[in-house]
Structure 1
Amino acid sequence: MKTLFLVRHAKADKKGDPALPDRERPLTERGRNDAPKMGRRLAKRGVKPDLILSSPAKRALVTAEAIARTLDYAPEDIMTNDELYVSQADELLDIIHGLDDKLEDVMLVGHNPAFDELAHRLSRKITHLPTCAVARFSFDTRSWSAIGKAKPAKVLLDYPKRA
């Protein structure tokens, strides 16, 4: 069984310093509250990722770190991948297909529109990932290379404003 978590970064500041590079945009207060909130929800479900892979953009990495802390995953063990910053769904699938098959539960933290696109491709039930949404896909397979070809056995979507 392979479980893939797609996590869209928490709410980021769009109106801050116009001279600030996009990669450096910080989370808003809401984003700083939502990320640990989603982490606590994942912890209650017993989520223990083998790998957290994040975009290097500040808003994604801060989201990943907040979630990691609630899951007893050392923030310094989070790996970053530039391809998660600017990518298309096919490039995300390439990253997933390249994962070590020894890993069972992997969390990717990144951005729309690529995360929306991939989530919808994996399950037509998902049409949009709000900020700080977590889409969980469980696949009855032993290889990450099957993701995108095999249908998920189970799909869950959670996000901060969901009751």
Structure 2
Amino acid sequence: MKRLTLLRHAKSSWGQSDLADHGRPLNQRGQQDVPFMAPRLASHGVRPSLIITSSAKRAQQTAKLLAREIVYPIEFIHTEKSLYLADPATILEVIETQEDTFSDIVICCHNPGISNLANQLSYQVINHMPTCGMVIIAADTNLWSEIASSSRTLIGFEYPKKPE
């Protein structure tokens, strides 16, 4: 059994017009949403053995804040450049090439790719994953390379403004 959490980065700042998209940081709401969401992630039994994040500043900050909240070693977060504004096929390729010793992976990246992959893997229609939204999927396989072809179950879809 493999568990995959697809995490959209938290809310970012548009306040610095001279800053390239890749370098945009989280805004105050984004910094508050991640600690708020960590217990929801834990309530679904998620205990990441690997966190992989886009190289964008906002995604890296989201992953690091989450790691602190769930007591995951920040130095073990893997940055994957190809996840920056990646399409679903690229995100899936990153997932499928992970070592099978990892049983619980969190992928932190961007829309629209993350929402589209969530739709594909969860058999649900998630039109737009909000910032700091999380889709948790369990797959009946022991191989990450088989995640797309395995039987999968949507465990949860959480986001900051979702009623508890």
For normalisation by structure 1, the TM-score amounts to 0.94
Q: Distance in 1 between matches of 2:136 and 2:157?
A: 6
CA displacement at 1:45 relative to structure 2: 4.1
| Number of the residue aligned with 1:71 | 70
Q: CA 1:153 to 1:46, structure 2 compared with 1: closer, same or farther past 3 Å?
A: closer
In 1, Cα distance between equivalents of 2:154 and 2:115: 18
Cα deviation, residue 154, structure 1 = 3.6
Question: What is the alpha-carbon distance in structure 2 between the residues aligned to residue 143 and residue 79 of structure 1?
Answer: 19
Alignment match, 1:124: 123
In the alignment, the residues of structure 2 paired with residue 39 and residue 96 of structure 1 have an alpha-carbon distance, to the nearest angstrom, of 22
Preserved CA contact (<8 Å) 1:24 1:59 = yes
Q: Please list the CA deviations of residues 88-135 of structure 1 after superposition, one character each: whole Å capped at 9, or x if unmatched.
A: 101111111101011100000000010011001112324121110010
User: Which amino acid in structure 2 is aligned with residue 71 of structure 1?
Assistant: I
Give 1:23 shift.
1.2
Matched, 1:94 2:93: yes
2:160 alignment partner in structure 1: 160
What 5-or-longer segments of structure 1 have no aligned partner? none
Letter in 2 for 1:20: L
Q: Percent same amino acid at aligned positions?
A: 40
Q: Distance in 1 between matches of 2:63 and 2:107?
A: 9
SS, match of residue 37 in structure 1: helix
Aligned CA RMSD, in angstroms, stands at 1.3
8 Å contact 2:85–2:111 — kept in the other structure?
no
Question: CA shift at 1:44, angstroms?
Answer: 4.1
Structure 2 contact 51–106 (Cα < 8 Å) conserved: yes
Runs of 4+ in 1 over 6 A off after TM superposition: none
Number of matched pairs: 162
The residue that corresponds to 2:7 in the other structure is: 7
What is the letter of the counterpart of residue 66 of structure 2? I
Aligned match of 2:150: 150
